Amino acid sequence: MTTNRVPELSLAQFTGGAPAARAAFSDALMRGLQDYGFVILTDHGVPVELLGRAYELAEQVFALPDAAKRRYAAGLRGYTPFGTEHAKDSRHPDLKEFWQIGREPPADIEIDEELPPNVWPAELPGFQPTFLTLFDALDATGRTLLRALAPRLGLAEDHFDPLTRYGTSILRVLHYPPVGDDVAAGCVRSAAHEDINFLTIMVAAKGAGLELLDRDGSWLPVETDPTNLIVDSGDMLQRLTNGRIPATTHRVVNPAGPNVSRYSMPFFMHPASAVPLDVLPSCVGDGAKYPPISAGEFLAERLREIGLAK
């Protein structure tokens, strides 16, 4: 039963709790993702000081001159200019710009995945160490959440560990500028969409506007303290679970109050490209709803659909 309020869960209940507390967290996480597609995470262990420093640097990097930012536009990592991305099936560009940071495997580890290099702004020497640290912290949080979910899907707790250890996860630093008077009709900060990945772990945004499409068809604001994390389930997890864990439609609406910048930092947790997204045996039921596809093939398809790849 939904309550028109996104569930708030303490991750410490799972990471530091007794077996019964851990099981209760897993049940609540599964129920929250099934009922809403979203949960709010407290006591997550990501340092508050790190979150504050990341937001300071986010404001600084997007305050750089446009010509300077465009020097760092390098595809799926680095800077993506305002108005580039659009929601799947939308004709209107989203009113946002962003910077993407990907995984940097240890130099002494060979992996099959060919990951493009990150791009760092020379003007902000603190940007690289801060966001690599944040990437690792959110990646660890995502792995913990998948461990909590796995037994509820008939899997060993560590099932997802090798699938995501060197996956194509992305940390996106987002800026939604003030909405200008000349914006075309139909353009919003982020049009209604579902995320592509397993899970999204988002640092609670500086600024309102995030809404999810509730199961009753109404839009429900997702708001919480800026020190918390917001978690939602994506298309890849929906495919894997045959819809048992759905990918929930959400959007970022234009400001109804002060017309100021909004910043957010979603971490999109992906498996490695070769990982198959075949429906799990425990979720097949009366038959798989989705045809077989690899994570890499699915990601490439969706990136083309939203304007980030050809």
Strand order in the sheet with 190-193: 190-193, 250-252, 210-213, 219-221
What's the start-to-end Cα distance of the chain, in Å? 42
Contacts of 217 (CB under 8 A, 6+ apart): none
Angstrom distance (rounded) from CA 209 to CA 255? 7
Degrees (nearest 5) of the Cα angle 264, 265, 268?
A: 135
Contact at 8 Å (CB) between 94 and 172? no
Structure tokens, 141:
């949080």
State the Cα–Cα distance between residues 145 and 29, nearest whole angstrom: 8
Count of C-beta atoms within a 10 Å radius of residue 45: 14
Domains, the chain, in order of start with CATH, read: 8-305 (2.60.120.330)
Is the whole model's pTM more than 0.85, yes or no? yes
Whole-number Cα distances in Å, 90 to 82, 85, 210, 217, 306: 16, 10, 18, 19, 8
User: What tokens does 83 get?
Assistant: 């108005």
Give, in degrees to the nearest 5, the angle at Cα 35 between 266 and 164.
Answer: 40
Q: Which of 266, 237, 235 has its CA nearest to residue 249?
A: 235
Residue 3 confidence (pLDDT): 59
pLDDT at 1: 44
Tens-binned pLDDT, residue by residue, of the chain (310 aa): 455 789 999 999 999 999 999 999 999 999 999 999 999 999 999 999 999 999 999 999 999 999 999 999 988 899 999 877 777 767 788 889 999 999 998 777 777 788 889 999 999 999 999 999 999 999 999 999 999 999 999 999 999 999 999 999 999 999 998 887 777 777 888 888 899 999 999 987 777 788 899 988 889 989 888 899 999 999 999 999 999 999 999 898 888 878 889 999 999 999 999 999 999 999 998 899 999 999 999 999 988 887 776 6
